[in-house]
Amino acid sequence: MKKCMIILNPSSGKEQALEYKDQMLKQLHNFDVVVKETKKEGDATQFARLACDEQYDAVVLVGGDGTLNEGINGIAEQPHRPIVGIVPLGTVNDFARALKIPLEPAEAITLLGGATRKADIGKVNNHYFTNVVAIGSIADAVGDVSVAQKTSLGSLAYLVEGVKAAVQNEAFEIQVEANDTDYLEETMLFLCVLTDSVGSFKAINEEADASDGLLHGFIIKNSNVLQAVGIAKNLLTGNYEDDDNIIKFDASEMIVKANKPLTLNVDGDLIGEVPATISILHNHLEFFVQG
């Protein structure tokens, strides 16, 4: 019988994750299923790595983008990589959106054990990601959003903290090497995006696909508060072709440097600092999706 490991974050989905356990077991009746509950940071990575070592056929990650990121980091480097199922219970669930996995957990569970597709993942220095690397005070503020804030405010928590940071307008000088081109700019935010969903906004990068083999870079130039409002509107609606304050480019690798120490926001968590080398692993993992 095929083997499946369910890695479940009991604090996700406003602490409702365990309510879906029986439905998952019923859906995966053709698998020998083991359930692992995370208790601390890093548990999902260790459990996923164990599933690879023990040649599991599938791993189901139940939680938000943080749980997904941890699980992917346990699988990405392994010679045996199980098919990955996603039951989204987070605040944003960008990667699930990009793969067109239903955001209603009960609906997402019905996909487990069914049709699959391959998708890209990214690597920044020694860490893997599924959706975005962000650099700047706005990214730092969003990465500092607490579990309590996310539970009470949902995605609004990210917006609140992001606006606070934008008003402070802490700029930095960034250098990005991509496609034999050097971009040197005074900026307030840098984004490297894999998919067409960024913070649940799909218009930002709507031409992207989860298996297009490309990193999509955005440099948001430094500006005053009034200009920042217009830039944000253009970015979120995808109407930035004529906005000189937004530089967009695609590449398979980006090397990022800055004139001061800056933290990397990787899929919503603060991990490492610049300088950073960001690369794409094309169609590296297989996921359960709608048929």
Question: Cα(206)–Cα(227) distance, rounded to whole angstroms?
Answer: 23
Nearest partner of 44 among 84, 16, 104, judged by Cα: 84
Cis bond upstream, residue 275 (ω within 30): yes
Write phi, then psi, for 196 (nearest 5 degrees). Answer: -95, 15
Instruction: Identify each DSSP E strand in the chain by its residue range.
Output: 2-8, 31-37, 58-63, 83-88, 116-124, 127-129, 132-135, 172-178, 181-193, 215-221, 246-251, 253-258, 263-266, 269-273, 276-288
Question: Which residues belong to the active site?
Answer: 269
Instruction: Name the residue with tokens 């800056």.
Output: 262
